[in-house]
Amino acid sequence: MPPILNVSAFQQLLQSFLTEDLGAGDVTTNCTIPMQQRALGEVVAKAPLVLAGIDLFGEVFRLLDANTKIEIALQDGQQINPGQIPARVTSTARALLTGERTALNLLPRLSGIATITRRFVDAVAGTGAQILDTRKTTPGLRALEKYAVLVGGGKNHRKDLAEAVLIKDNHVRLAGGVTAALQGAQAAAGRVAWIEVEVTTLEELCEALRQAPDVILLDNMSPELVRTAVEQVHAANAQRTIRTEASGGITLANVRNFAEAGVDWISVGALTHSAPSIDISFEIKPL
């Protein structure tokens, strides 16, 4: 089941998107289309996709015309084939034309993220590894992009800097080493969801294991080295309380190799920073 999106929580954000595009007003539409003209807009998939953001799409037009009527035939999380129509929107022609670009900037973007996430999730099916996103998101769109990852079947890593401790290479360097960084991180224990440290070598891994963090991130390691690292974590942590995460250089072509190496999490920045927008059109006709 895909997560439930509270659309009302994003009305202010959607309004800001519309304001950005409107400027002083849609001069073309206002000059050419009668105020009372009504129209029907159909959302049409032009490529295979996993739908994400269809309720937000409709909300864009509601903000322009409170009497907008939306018929949603397909829900977020559903696989859609070219030619299928997930939604129809009936409103004033002016509202449909004015909101078209804002709505079509959002729906294909979120659906693109959900679609590529589903591909990664399918690629590791049966291994026990979970696909996670990162904070490599579009400024202002993080909550929605992370929602799209959930729709695609992935999981969310920390939502912001306050949720969890994640000690990266720069933290290690500035703190004076893995041990010093992890010892300092204990000040946040009990106030964060987990404490995690990034390691790039087996030597750093051994140092991290002595401090027993919640998660060890195996960064930019080959699948073979990840397997060795996971074995060492399991040998030192028989109760499996320390989770392992692989990140860096992971693609659809090699993600299963990392999953079969035994990691718990695989974080993929490309889910959000490189997901292509899916081809979706909005075809409007008069009523």
Strands (DSSP E) found in 144-238: 165-167, 195-199, 215-219
Domain of 242: which CATH number?
Answer: 3.20.20.70
Active-site residue numbers?
101, 136, 168, 198, 219
Residue 145 lies in a domain: yes
Residues ≥6 apart with Cβ < 8 Å to 182: 167, 195, 197, 208, 211, 213
Task: List pLDDT tens digits, range 95-106.
Answer: 999 999 999 999
State which residues form the domain around 115: 7-121+275-286
Taking only Cα atoms into account, the Rg of the chain, rounded to an integer number of angstroms, comes to: 23
- What pLDDT does residue 217 have? 98
The answer on pLDDT for 1 being more than 90 is no
pTM above 0.85, yes or no: yes
Percent share of the chain, pLDDT over 90: 97
The answer on pLDDT for 2 being more than 90 is no
Q: What band does 240 get if pLDDT is binned at 50, 70 and 90? A: confident
The answer on pLDDT for 64 being more than 90 is yes
The reply to whether 105 and 21 lie within a common domain is yes
The answer on pLDDT for 238 being more than 90 is no
The reply to whether 266 and 279 lie within a common domain is no
Q: Angle at CA 274, nearest 5°, toward 159 and 254? A: 95
The tally of domains found in the chain comes to 2
Residue 243 lies in a domain: yes
To which H or E segment does residue 17 belong?
helix 11-22
DSSP 56-70: HHHHHHHHH-TT-EE
Helix, strand, or coil here: 162? coil
Dihedral sign, CA of 89, 90, 94, 95?
negative
